[in-house]
Amino acid sequence: MDLITPTIILTIFFSLTASTIRHLPKDHLNNTKYTFMLMFMISMIPLNMLLNHNNELTMTLPPLIITPTENINITFTLDTLSLIFIPVALFITWSITEFSIWYMASDPNISKFIKYLTTFLIMMMIIITANNMYQLFIGWEGVGIMSFLLIGWWNARSDANTAALQAIIYNRIGDIGLILATTWLITFSSVNMQELLIQYETIHLIPTAGLMAAAIGKSAQFSLHPWLPAAMEGPTPVSALLHSSTMVVAGVFLLIRLYPLLNSNHTMKTMCLILGATTTMFAAAAAITQHDIKKIIALSTTSQLGLMMTMLGLGQPTLAFLHMTIHSFFKALLFLCSGSFIHSLNNEQDLRMMGNLLKTAPMTSSFTTIASLSLMGMPFLSGFYSKDTIIETMANSHTNLWALMITLIATTLSASYSMQIILLILTGPSHTNINTHKEAMNTISPLTRLTLTSILVGSITKLSTLQTPPMTTMPKTVKLLALTVTVLGVALSKDFTQTALSSPPSKPRTINLFFNQLAFFNIPHRAMTMKTLKSSQQISTELMDLWTLENYGPKGLGKTFTRLILLSTQQKNMIKNYMTTFTLTLLISLTLTAT
C-alpha cells in the first residue's frame, strides 16, 4: 500500500515532463488534455487512501551532493497538503488547457503555449511536494520564470513586456527573503523539512521574517501588490492558472507548510494578521474602482489571499489551506468565463461596454453568476464553507476588533464588486458589436466541470471531514454576521449601479483615484521615477552646466588670463583715473608754490 502513492506521484511527474519534451503538432493538442485528465484520475487514488487511512509518507532518493554538513538529495513529502492539492492543480490545469485549445486557436505558437502551461504546473507541484528548501527553491524560481514567459506571451505589446518585468522584479524583491531564510537555516538549522520542524520551539526572527517577505512578494500582499493586476496583460488562460492553483498561492502555501516555525513567533503572527486584513480591505476597495473585468477578478484574488494570511495570523493554517483549495475552483471559472466574454466581444474588457450577454451567451452567463455567488460566500456554494468559517473564527477569536471590522468591510465590498460584474455583464443595454460564437463543447465542458466543483466541493469537503454536525456555540447574530454583510454588499451594489449609470460623468474624487491607482503603485512607478528624472536633470543642467562647467570653463579661463596680464604689465587700463589724478596733483602743487 505504501508503494502505491509514491509510484503514482512519480508517474504523474514523469508523464507531465514527457508531454513538455515531445514535439506536439497542432492537430494533436487534445492529447495533452487527455494526459491531464488521466493524471487527475490517477491522483485521486492517493487522496482516497489519505482520507480513509490518513497515510503520510516521505520518499527520498540517494544523495546527489554529499557535503560535510548537508546531504543534498531529491526528497518528496506526501502528506495531507500535497496529496489534496495535486489533484486540485491537475483538475484546474486540465480544464484550462482544454479552454486554451479553443481560446488560443489562432496563435501560431499554441503548442509552445500549452507546454509552458504544463511546465508551470510541474514547477508548482515541485513546491507542493518539496521536502527540503533547495527543492522548494527550484520550484519557487521555476514558477517565477514561467510566469514571466507567460505574462509576456504577446511580446509585441510593450504593456505585456512591462507587466512581465514587473512580475519578476516584484517577486525577486520577495525572493531575497526566501534566500535569507534558506541561508540562515543552512547555517543554524537544517534545510530538510522534518529536521527543521522538530526544532520549531526556538523562536528566531530572521527565518520567519524571510519567509514572510517571500510570501508577501509571491502572494502579492500589500506593498508588493501592483504586479498582480498588471499581470492581466497575459492571455486569459495564463491569468486563470496563475491566480487559481499556481504562483500566487505558492506564497501562502510556503507559510502553511512551514507554519510551526511561525507559530512560536507572536510578532510574525501579528504581522500576518495586520498584513492580511489590510490586503483584504485594500484590494476589495481597489476592485470597486476598476472597470477592466480581468483587473477586478485579479484584485479579488489579492483580497482572498489576504483572508488566507489573516487566518495564518490567527493560528489556523488548515482553514487557510481549505480556503486556498476551494478558492482555486471558482477563481479559475471566473477567469475562463471572462475570457469567453472577451473573445465574444472582439477583445473588449471594459465592463461598461458589455451588457445583455444573458441572451447571447446563456451558459457562460450562468456559470459567471455561480462563480461570483461562490466568491461572495452565498450559502451552500463552495465559497460559503470556507469564507463563512473564516469570519466565524475571527468573530470567536481573542483578536482585536480592528481586524474583524476590516474583514467585514472587505466582505461587503467583495459582494459589491461581484454583484457589479453580474449586473453589468448580464443586464442592461449592449454597447459594443458582439461577434457571437456558438458555445461549443470545448468551451462549455471545462466551464461546466469547474462550475460543478464550485457548487459541490465545499459540501464534499464538509461530508468527508465532519461526519457529525458540530454544536453551535455562538449567538445567532455572530453566526449570521458574514451573510448579513454579504447581503448588504449586494444591495449597495445594485443601488450604486442604478444611480451611477443614470448620472452624468463627473471628475473622480481623490479617494477614488487613490484606490484606482493601487495606492502605492504611484510611489515606485510614477513619483519616484519622476523625482529621479527631475533631480538628475537639475544636476546635469544646473549643477554641471551652469555652475561647474561655467566656472571652470569660460569664466575660469577668463580669470586665469586676467591674472597673467596683471603679472606681465603694470598697466591696468585706467587712463582716465591716471589723468585726473595727475591734473589734480599738478593744480595742488602750483597752488602751494604760488602761496
- More confident: 489 or 400: 489
Instruction: Assess contact for 174 and 204: CB atoms under 8 A.
Output: no
* Residue 362 in grid coordinates: 446563456
How would residue 66 be classed by pLDDT, with cut points 50, 70 and 90?
confident
C-alpha span between 181 and 210 (Å, rounded): 5
Q: How far is CA 330 from the centre of its chain?
A: 17
- For 379-433, the pLDDT digits (tens) are 989 999 999 999 988 988 887 788 999 999 999 999 999 999 999 888 877 766 6
Cα(293)–Cα(420) distance, rounded to whole angstroms? 10
CA-CA distance, 476 to 32, in Å (whole number)? 50
Q: Which of 273, 281, 283, 274 is nearest to 248 (CA)?
A: 283
Average per-residue pLDDT for the chain:
87
71-72/65-66 β-pairing: antiparallel
Q: Which amino acid is at 12?
A: I
Contact by Cβ (8 Å): 242, 298: no
Torsion, Cα of 410, 414, 416, 417 (10° steps): 130
- CB of 115 within 8 A of CB of 153? no
For 66, phi then psi, to 5°, come to -110, 120
Burial class of residue 577 (count of CB atoms within 10 Å of its CB; 0-12, 13-18, 19+) = exposed
Q: Say if residue 535's pLDDT is above 90.
A: no
What confidence tens digit (pLDDT) does each residue in 271-320 have? 999 999 999 999 999 999 888 999 999 999 999 999 999 999 999 999 99
Reported residue count of the chain is 595
pLDDT band, residue 333 (cuts 50/70/90): very high
Strands (E), 294-437: none
Q: What is the mean pLDDT of residues 473-492?
A: 89
Do 353 and 345 meet the contact criterion of CB atoms below 8 Å apart?
yes
What residues pair up with 57 in beta bridges, in sequence order?
A: 78
Cell numbers of 231, please? 499581470
* Residue 280 · residue 314 · CB < 8 Å: no
Residue 410 confidence (pLDDT): 95
| DSSP assignment string, 410-455 | HHHHHHHHHHHHHHHHHSS---S--------HHHHHHHHHHHHHHH
Give the pLDDT mean for 453-482. Answer: 80
Q: How many CB atoms lie within 10 A of CB 292?
A: 15
Residue 483, pLDDT above cutoff 60: yes
- How many whole angstroms separate alpha carbon 321 and alpha carbon 298? 19
